[in-house]
Amino acid sequence: MLDYGCGPGSYIIPAAELAGASGKIYALDINPLATQAVQKISSKKGLTNVETITSDCKTGLPGGSIDVVLLYDTLHALSDPNSVLKELHRVLKPSGILSLSDHHMKEEEIISKITRSGLFKPSKKGEKVYNFKKLSEK
């Protein structure tokens, strides 16, 4: 799992527990203070399956290596959303899911911004979470 725009690590503990010992959680943020906060949480809680990445776009992860990307409360703040969506598309497995929530944006705005890239299609909508499936390479 990749928590893209992880901030101070709000989802790290439940994500690490869900992934289990055999899974891996990558927590990425542009702000080094955020990734340091995640490292502190991981160390304090003994989460050995969490790795942090400090970056404004590129993950450095192999293509097709991630099952789920969390893009929570981040889309509205991206300076170059298309580049980020291309990178998320690249790292997701063919059956991968982009899970998105952003209380700063309306539903139509979220769906439009993600689908107009031609990289993802809507798959499931929760109360405040939108899941998108990865479309095949063109």
**pLDDT tens profile 53-89:** 999 999 999 999 999 999 999 999 999 999 999 999 9
| pTM metric for this prediction | 0.94
**Counted domains in the chain:** 1
CA distance 112 to 52: 30
Whether residue 66 contacts residue 98, with contact meaning beta carbons closer than 8 Å, is answered with no
Alpha helices in the chain (DSSP H): 12-19, 32-45, 81-91, 107-115
So what's the pLDDT on residue 137? Answer: 67
Question: What's the half-sphere exposure (Cβ side, CA atoms, 13 Å) at 17?
Answer: 4
What pLDDT is stored for residue 136 in this prediction? 84
Show the domain range for 19.
2-134
Residue 40 confidence (pLDDT) above 90? yes
Residue 45 has pLDDT above 90, yes or no: yes
User: Domain holding 25: CATH number?
Assistant: 3.40.50.150
**Torsion (CA) 124, 102, 36, 69 in degrees, nearest 10:** 20
* Segment 123-133 mean pLDDT: 94
Mean pLDDT on 41-51: 96
DSSP 76: G
pLDDT for position 1:
97
